[in-house]
Structure formats: structure tokens, C-alpha cells
Structure 1
Amino acid sequence: MADLSDPRRNSVIVVDDDADIRGLIVDQLRQENYDLLSASNLAELRQALRDQPVDLIVLDLNLPDGDGLSLCRELRAEGSGIQIIMVTARGSAIDRVLGLELGADDYLTKPFEPRELLVRIRNLLRRPRVEAPAPADQSRYAVFGPWRLDLLQRRLIAPDDRLVMLSSAEFRLLSRFIEEPNVVLARETLLPERRATAAFDRTIDLQVSRLRQKLAGATGGADLILTVRGEGYVLASPVRYE
């Protein structure tokens, strides 16, 4: 039985309507010393989230009572920072991009190697929890270029008050830029959990690219994050707090 009193133990819930797949994933995760939960549908997942804190969700896309994409969008709209790995039989690039755009932190297509899922879970949970930058006056918004970043709800607000949701990875990345505006940040600084492989790991480049696309959705936002060849990336804008 899991020792819920252990503050270092991460809580992971596996959500899949296929009992065999769900059981296989849970069995694989037991060796990692996680506090393990499981659910067969969205209703059970929501109840579990109400009952106790959860650090990471392994979320099947197709569930009997709803779509995992909708649940992902719902959690991010509430400002939840729970890590989410989507696992699905869908394999198209459009599905993967949609899942990431709606707030998933990672995406796996069935069938997959259990060890690959273990590595991805371990990497996500190894990331330090990034809280929003906290200036002395406890301001809620960080303003840069044409955008405002809601530090509580973890979403971008355009000049016309249009809301743009951010995945946990995108929020962490943008928060890091906001902490040091107009400073060139090396790739290993932006993705510290992959410091050893940052020189050839393209994950950070993909994350920066997705963030740039969202920032480009407002006039004047396309050139906020610049590439400094051989050095890293920089948020080319002053930041103020409101």
C-alpha cells in the first residue's frame, strides 16, 4: 500500500477504459515508488482529483464518457498545473499538435514501449515545480509586448482580451523568460532537466516554436523571442507587473 505520509512521493493516476492496458501501466509504474491511482473514465478521474492531490495524469484520449482533450482543456482553463501525458491510438500529427496545444505536456501513441512511458513520466516529474514569478507587490499580471500573462490562471491575454491557454511546459518556459527579460538564456538553462543532452536535444526548440506561434497571434508579438545563434534565446522586451 502506498505511504501517503511520504511527502517525497509523487502521485500518478492512469486513466484508460481498457482494464488490461490500465493494469499493465500501473504494474510498470510500481517500481518507481509512486503513489498510484487508476480510473476507467472521466467521472472517476474527476472524483480522484477532488479526493487528493495528483502530480501527473496518464490520460487516454478516448474515454466512454468524454474526450481526454476536453478534460485537458478544462484543467488548463482552471489554472491546473498537473502534468499530463496523453496516450492514444490516434497517430496523426494533427492529433498530437492539438493535444499539446490544449495543454498536454507530452504525447504517446499506442502501441508504445512501457519503458518509454516510464522515462517520460520520470522526466516530467523531475522538473522543479515552477510557480509564477512573484514580485514583491504580488502582482497578478506580467506585461510584455502586447501581451499580459495571468500568473494565477496561467494564460495569455491579448490586447483585445482574447484568452490563449498555455500548456504547463509553455508556462514554465515563458515564466523563465519573464524572470530575465533581455537576457540571453542558454538552452540548458531553459530546460534544466535535460541539461546533459541540451546541446542536441530538439525539445526546447519545439517548445520555443510553439510559444512563438502563440505570441505571434497579437500584433507585435512575432519577434518577442529571438534566437541568438550559438548562445540560446532571449525575450526581447521589458516586463512590468500589474
Structure 2
Amino acid sequence: MEERRNQELQHHQQQNKEEEEEEMVCLDGSFFINDDYKLTNFTFGSQQIQLFCLHSASTDFDLTGQLVWPGAMLLNDYLSKNVEMLQGCSVIELGSGVGITGILCSEFCHKFVLTDHNEEVLKIINKNIKLHSCSEDTSPTSHGLVAELLEWGNKDQVNEILQKHPGGFDFILGADIYILISSIPPLFDTVNRLLRARDGRKCKFILAYVSRAKTMDSMIITEASKHQIHLKEVVGTRTIVGNLEGVIFETTLE
């Protein structure tokens, strides 16, 4: 009798499991992606630009680059006031998102390399590069802009970029590029490699930093110091971005 009850219980559990599996909805990756980009206007000083971006994030946390973050607004405001600093220079940006900084700088930089680790984000970067291309030139290198895949800490990808752009860069830019604490060590490993690629010539790292947590604040400083990178606050740049405090850091290797 006991054995029969056990068999009936197992049969009932199996039926429930099969019913649950039938009710499950299988979702592919596209479910988490919102690509309903809106053409949006931005003004920085006397410069006005348009680009495609989202006004709210995708479900996938990895797609944060589809938005224009406060740090990018802070960085672009700073660069628009210091155009002469980047005049004719070669620049690489880490975590370019939709490409708003590269598009702003394309008028006065000799070369601007936008990077991101996410293929979906690279699509919108290239879409915005094409938007700002001349009608007779729709290549992904228009106006000195080019998009490259780069996951921080990936030596092979860094080396591949440096092979395409020998001699390194005059400037490395970054804005709001430390969303996860786990991303900070590989970020500064990549910055360190790019800074050292100049063969004795100076390369400057400019970081638009928006403070979101005290733990993040201290870890940024600590990790930079491990690579002999001293983050120096640019006087007069500390400001409130939205409801958060932001500041511009500039650094070269110690």
C-alpha cells in the first residue's frame, strides 16, 4: 500500500513538472534588447549634435551603453570648452556608448577611436558614425571616426587596436565607465597599456567621474595607484550632474 502511494506521488510530481515545462516561455536574446533609438539633439557650448540613443535602458544590464550617461555630458561640456587641447590629436575612448563624445570631437580631432565590448552597442555607434558621415562617404571611418571592439583587460584586443593605430594615442577618454566594481581592475589595466604605448611620448587619460558610492570612489583611486596612475582633479570642474557630484580627472603616468 505504501509503495503504491509513493508511485502515485511520483507520478503526480512528474505530471506537475511536465505541466510547468509546457507553460515556460523560451526567450531568445532579442527579448532583452530595446533598439527603438530616437534621434536626439544635444548642445555643448556652441556645438550642436544629433545622434540616435535610447531614453530608457534595455532589460539587459550589459547594454548600458545605449544611453547617454551623466558622465558623458560632463566630459563633453569640458571638452567643448577646451577644444584647442585635442586639436589635431589622436584619441581613443573607453566605453563609448552611443558615441556622443566621438561625434562631438570629430570636428577637431585628427583621429578618434570609439570602443565598446558589446556588439549591440557597437551597432549603434556605427549607426551614429554613419549619420555624421558625408553623403559621398558612408564608410565607418568617416570624419576620422572608427569603432573597435574592446573588452577591458583583453590584451589581444588592445594589441590589435595598437597594430591598427601604431604609435598609440595622444589622449584616452572615459566617462561613467566604472558601473561595476569588478570592472575597475581590468579598466585600469587597459588604461595602463594604452598610456605605455606611446614610446616615451606623453599620453593623457581624461576621466569624467560621477560619484555614486564611497566604495567606488576609494577603489578608483587605489586601483589607479597600483598602475602608477595618479588621478589629478582639474580645478574648477567639480559640479553637480543631475543629483550626483561629478569631476574631471586628468593623468599621465607617474
Q: TM-score, normalised by structure 2?
A: 0.28
Q: Tell which structure's C-alpha radius of gyration is larger.
A: 2
Q: TM-score, normalised by structure 1?
A: 0.29
Larger helix proportion, structure 1 or 2?
2
